[in-house]
Amino acid sequence: MSTLPTQTAPNSSTSMAPTFLLVGLPGLSGAPSWWTMPLIAVYLLSALGNGTILWIIALEPALHRPMHFLFLLSVSDIGLVTALTPTLLGLALAGVHTVPASACLLQMFFVHVFSVMESSVLLAMSIDRALAICRPLHYSALLTNDVISKISLAIAFRCLGLHLPLPFLLACMPYCRPQVLTHPYCLHPDVARLACPGAWGATYSLFVVLSVMGLDPLLIFFSYGLIGKVLQGAESREDRWKAGQTCAAHLSAVLLFYIPMILLALISHLELPITQHTHTLLSYVHFLLPPLINPILYSVKMKEIRERILNRLQPRKVGCAQ
């Protein structure tokens, strides 16, 4: 049975050590064999579900424009779960708690790039829904192919531009605490908290978190406030029902992604006395559940996706009348 190595805190500031120590799910370190299968199943199902969405959208030209943001969401989901898997499986299969600093920074970069990409895409999708419902007559003129391309470039610039400096800043920061992380993967707030007080790289890390994860939910819920106001004024009950159905999958994806993150932030800020089990499980839910559930939500709630998946899966009938 593997045990977590210990690392003593230095008396003064030091540069980044060559390895980080990861903490797995408490209580499971002695029995890695049975929690390996759920992790592998989550990864395979996430890859299969999101891969199917990407496949359908890529093969159907009619879906390229209306489902462009859903395509990006599936890309971010696959990227996020793939970035998390190496250290999770290392812990589950072999109880490996140490990770090289370079590999940790690389994982941290990709986890946050795809996490910010997901948040940005959810924001873009909420604006898309708000325009479609609040300005239906001007929707096509406002959201042209050129505008969609510019939004996609802005999302890419936002993800890479915000996070590209972080690995280099964190690698050069002075550290006054042992390099023991509180999650089974590398996250930049987790690494930044180990730095010495006053390290400006940690301040930049906080800015990155607040500029995305603090701003995006506010804008998304503002968009849904506008949608709700318009739906209240709609005279037709059928129109309200159709509009609600188009928003159901996206709103579910938004809640699934942000609620665990907001709970983790509140727990950390208010220093609530919760167990490490609960904290780690909330982290798992935040990162692993959306890539697993999103393809199901969109396949069930969106008629265009559901019908085309069924059409592709059904065997083609070959006319052979003589």
Domains identified in the chain and CATH numbers = 19-306 (1.20.1070.10)
Q: Which residues are CB-contacts of 127 (< 8 A; sequence separation ≥ 6)? A: 219, 223
Q: Provide the sign of the torsion angle of the four alpha carbons 99, 101, 106, 110, taken in this order.
A: positive
Tell me the one-letter amino acid at 127: I
Q: Which residues are CB-contacts of 273 (< 8 A; sequence separation ≥ 6)? A: none
Pairwise CA distance, residues 13 & 81, whole Å:
34
Beta bridge partners of 107: none
pLDDT tens digit at each of 322 positions of the chain: 444 444 444 445 677 778 888 876 554 555 455 667 888 888 999 999 999 999 999 988 888 888 899 999 999 999 999 999 888 888 777 777 888 989 999 999 999 999 999 999 999 999 998 998 888 888 888 889 899 999 999 999 999 988 888 888 888 888 888 888 888 888 887 888 888 876 666 677 777 777 777 889 999 999 988 888 888 876 677 767 777 777 877 888 888 899 888 887 777 666 667 776 777 778 888 888 999 999 988 887 777 788 888 887 776 554 444 4
Q: Which residues are CB-contacts of 2 (< 8 A; sequence separation ≥ 6)? A: 29, 32, 94, 95, 96, 97
